[in-house]
Structure 1
Amino acid sequence: MRAVRYDAVGQLPRLTDVPEPVCPDGGVVVRVGATGVCRSDWHAWRGHDPVALPHVPGHELAGTVAEVGAGVRGWRVGDRVTVPFVCGCGACPTCAAGDQQVCPHQTQPGFTGPGSFADLVALHAADTNLVGLPDGLDDVTAAALGCRFATAFRALTAHGGLRAGQWLAVHGCGGAGLSAVMIGVALGARVVAVDVSPVALDAAHRLGADALVDASSGTPVAEAVRELTGGGAHVSLDCAGHPDVAVASVRGLRRRGRHVQVGLLLGARSTPPLPMDLVVAHELSVHGSHGMAAHEYPAMLAMVADGRLDPARLVGSVVPLGEAGAALAALDDAPAHAGLTVVDLRLP
């Protein structure tokens, strides 16, 4: 089958032929219709998040079940599906509690094994992890839900507890950040979008952000957020994954505010100097957000179905599989367009 693979860290991924995956017991093989190009894939490609080499990236996917393994009860060949980027084992106490997104035995397509930059991808514990797609949701749009959008949704609803009328600050308006802006607006919040890129800030404005902060202007970001929100955000997200951004997110909160870390902080950046004096004195909450389990998808899909959320608006570029490697490498630089890049495997 076709796959985009790299053999060394930082080597430009290239289109090649590889063997088809073996269907695991309890799992399925999915024929990929579309897959997102995510910064998490970029972290692995750059060596920040080690993977076994050679490697096929890709974890934001939508497609059709092509083969069903022994023991699978709920899925059949031909079913249209997506999947969280974290697949729980389905058998441990963590999964039994409904927290598959932090399963200690988790698998992740594109990280713990070959991913979805390929015609076919093997997925484990299908009855725990697969999510059926409604007929009205096309593969390109569905592929935008699996990592950045779902993570932002859970960050705001489960961790942030965001309510209508509250202030939300979104630091970093890439894929996850723009998803958070859209979701925050849909939940009735007032949104401050923060970025250094005019392209990203313009996209956030078009999605309904009430206020914009240019982080390159020289004014301290936290101070600007507190002034715009009349004392600080109720909920603030670092979607960029940078120590300075995480600190600014916490400092921009009002008393009893909630910071949610969405962007990855890896390696030397893993321990930002968070102002724990403020966390204590102002009773702030600090959360991590690591995706969303399959059983939590219905609430998000319901908002897509009734039009409150329109993830198709977040897709900025659609490319064929042969261009997936270049699209991944392009994440080294400031984006030329706002929004998500999605690989459509039906394109020539």
Structure 2
Amino acid sequence: MVIVSPFQEQASHDEKRLHAPANHLQIRTNSNKTNLIDMEENKIICLEPNICKEDPTHEVYKYIRTDSFNRMLQGRIDVTHNITHDTNVIPNIVHFTWYGSKRKNIFRFHHLISVLSAHRFIKPSVIYFWCESVPEGDYFKEARTKVPELKLVYRLPPTEIYGQRVAVAEHVTDVVRLEALMEYGGIYFDLDAVAVKSPDDLLHYETVMGWESPSGLCNGIILSSPWANFLKIWHREYYSFQDRFWSYHSVRLPAELTKRYPGLIHTETASINRPNWSPQELAMLYKEGNIYDFKTKNYFVHLWFRQHGVDHNPRDIRTWNTTVGALFRHVYYGDDTIWPSMKDRHFKF
């Protein structure tokens, strides 16, 4: 069975083109590598053919949408295609997103933990930090110092998709993450999610997600190869997007598509998004003295940090006797033990 999109190829209305000399668009690179392409004539440096900066002294790269995006999106989809491979097909790169910063642009401690966990346990060749502005604060400075593979990529926040308005910040990042994974592949996770070990044994599937509940497949953590069929189908379903519905296209829809096309995605029952946001499972994360065995049971732990709402720091996590306290110490200090039994030492990442 083959699916052909009913939608005509169209340029993205929400992208103001960042024009660059035509010759740089003809460069080809491997998405698994962080090759810097220095075009001497125009002084353009590119991480990918369309993630570039013209001034080597600038810290921010710019994303340039090209016509090839729509051509690839509108390609045929074979729903009988085997998504399990003998070798890894998901590139070892990580994506984060940072939008809605007009309201809040301060990079918090749990954001730092998320980025450090990617660096420490996934060991990606590059981390693309998709943003509309550069985060502020000492914790972001610490991230830039400790994580040299972190690259800032400016992309205008999308305001429409298939003619449907996108205004809610969380929905803006839903679109950005989905399109980044389609175009480059890799591993996306929210800045309130934490990698606890390498997901390498999942990278031979074309698309991987985790259940947060029987009816919800959370888009807070997604692993995918470039132009995976599941993501293309998911993106096309945004023609019915409604900004007023909080989680339909980000959680319920992928769950429905998984049941409709089970052969196009590998799902994890409990190792990616569990414990979840329910009161019983939040207690597994935040209840004092109730330590969950995240090291053997999980690839990622989703913190559901809005439900907690308390900021932490390198000092208070030393004696914070919860699963998240242990997780933060595991990432930040390299040892999840409560501080009184640890030596006060510096850890290198």
TM-score (normalizing by structure 1) = 0.29
Between 1 and 2, higher relative CO (CA 8 Å, sep ≥ 6) is seen in: 1
TM-score (normalizing by structure 2) = 0.29
